[in-house]
Structure 1
């Protein structure tokens, strides 16, 4: 049995009495005081996440731009220096290797941020595609710890310990500067549906920064947040999770990510299959579900209509914001009709749910971080 990996903030999690779990081979905090309390803290104030388990892959070289353009479905050629791009990365089959963020320093230098449990797989895949390109690749994940401060008060709290003008950092942009005297990469990104920042720092400085942010945010009730609330927050905002909404057998179009697939690009891995799917119509669609009868629709529970299986739940839980049981599901496209009643098979029992719009939560003030 392989020993679980730990982030540089492991001792901090113990100090805050976190409940720790195995998450993709990492020993990570699932909660500190409770998922619902932590969820509300992020929606109403701000919360601090340890996301140091995420993977970072550096791409440098003369062909860096051309290489990434071929690698992902989105159009990196339109990305400016200091900006960030979200994109699926696909297999030739059109299925998803992973979803990722691309940070552009310049046309010959990019940082790709990938999901923690996929880092080794992604790096091997990216290396395999690089043979005919003049690029240098590096898995630099060990060089970074990553903290995420998320919530409506994130900017107010972080501004107290930095000379950076955080209001000038646009949504999906990044810059470098000092926070509490520590050199950091700071991006206006997140995985919660709220405004916030993701802060990349050397592992040896991560504990100082973690403690300082909690200290200066204490008056506002800023608290550490575990993976449990991270999941309910991202799920309400319809932000996909690899292994749930995304996978090798699911195309970006099926997952509702068509806006991040630029079929007018010259070429990218999986384009032929995805283009054919676009022209013929997707076989499955991602839908929102609201439970009518009592029960929670968990990931991978079957979905049925009139006794016939029509798909499966990708994510599901109690929604602390909406105070009801909701889910996302991948169903046959011709049955993905708003208001449609179907059955969630919970331990063999049919429990009724209704198809509803899948964006369960959108923050009111979307105007600030553009």
Structure 2
């Protein structure tokens, strides 16, 4: 019988995952680990100690040149002019009609250099979208093949990574980064994350990825570090109310509807999608993202219909059990007047209505 993973893209850590007997799945064309010891175990380990994630499938795009800022600010919603060197922000990459091409992290490397981290399945589309808009004196490179990315997340992430680097990690603030070293080799170290916990992403040469992975596993052993897969990554980000492309956001959803108005800076000048967002803002939203928790027995899964007073009203974008809160939660789109905490709703689970109630997002916030 042929191996279905043969035709999938593989990160430099593929052999390491298989050696750890990870359960592998096709994730957007990549052969990726969904779990190792189990989703709940990995989730709880990240919340209480440290988890190690392979995020090398994510894409990287570099924009460099005298007018790099002009291009970055035109294709993204946030204001990159406000970034200091070494700072990161979250932004939307939009179409003219105001829907998402992708959500991205913009890192300011220098006055003429920006480093974008983009979603795995979108990297080629994002690159083509940005390059097509480039009428400024700058270059756009689809730089993903030059980087492997490893995330160490959790309360013990700093103590784990600090063992391997002379770069002082404590002074790096949340959503900042530095170009330093890990185990004597160059690394870009960013204090960002997608779990709701403190943690770091390290960008390294792909040839060094497996070595760095094994060193991090050894460094975190005393803290109980464990490898974590896509399953735990999803439950962690869902509890923290973080959007996932293809779920909370896509080409049909605007940042205003997704509760991401804070990444849209209308005062910075023109940007792709601006005119449509201004129209939407002036006319008023018709729908919005809201959290919910299940009251009846059942789990509200992605795509399930949501009803209010028996009438179809919206749909679930993400849903499942919350290991931290020990309840079934989710996010959904509802009409604006219903997208407020305390609304009684029904989630259609296998064609049967199950009671739920809307609650604020995020569901979980770590203690500072």
> Which TM-score tier does this pair reach, normalised by the shorter chain?
over 0.9
Q: How does 1:258-337 map to 2 (within 5 A)?
A: 258-337=261-340
Q: Report what 1:188 is aligned to.
A: 191
Tell me whether 285-294 or 337-346 shows the greater mean CA deviation.
337-346
Q: Report what 1:106 is aligned to.
A: 110
Q: Report what 1:95 is aligned to.
A: 99
- Once the 2 structures are TM-superposed, how far is the Cα of residue 358 of structure 1 from its aligned partner? 1.6
Where 2:267 maps in the other structure, the secondary structure is coil
Q: How does 1:1-370 map to 2 (within 5 A)?
A: 3-130=7-134, 132-365=135-368
- Once the 2 structures are TM-superposed, how far is the Cα of residue 300 of structure 1 from its aligned partner? 1.0
Where 2:210 maps in the other structure, the secondary structure is helix
Q: Distance in 2 between matches of 1:283 and 1:272?
A: 17
Give 5+ residue unaligned stretches, structure 2: none
Where 1:253 maps in the other structure, the secondary structure is coil
Where 2:256 maps in the other structure, the secondary structure is coil
- Once the 2 structures are TM-superposed, how far is the Cα of residue 309 of structure 1 from its aligned partner? 1.2
Q: Distance in 1 between matches of 2:179 and 2:337?
A: 48
Q: Distance in 2 between matches of 1:339 and 1:197?
A: 36
TM-score by length of 1: 0.97
Where 1:278 maps in the other structure, the secondary structure is helix
Q: Distance in 2 between matches of 1:210 and 1:338?
A: 42
- Once the 2 structures are TM-superposed, how far is the Cα of residue 216 of structure 1 from its aligned partner? 1.2
- Once the 2 structures are TM-superposed, how far is the Cα of residue 51 of structure 1 from its aligned partner? 0.1
- Once the 2 structures are TM-superposed, how far is the Cα of residue 303 of structure 1 from its aligned partner? 0.6
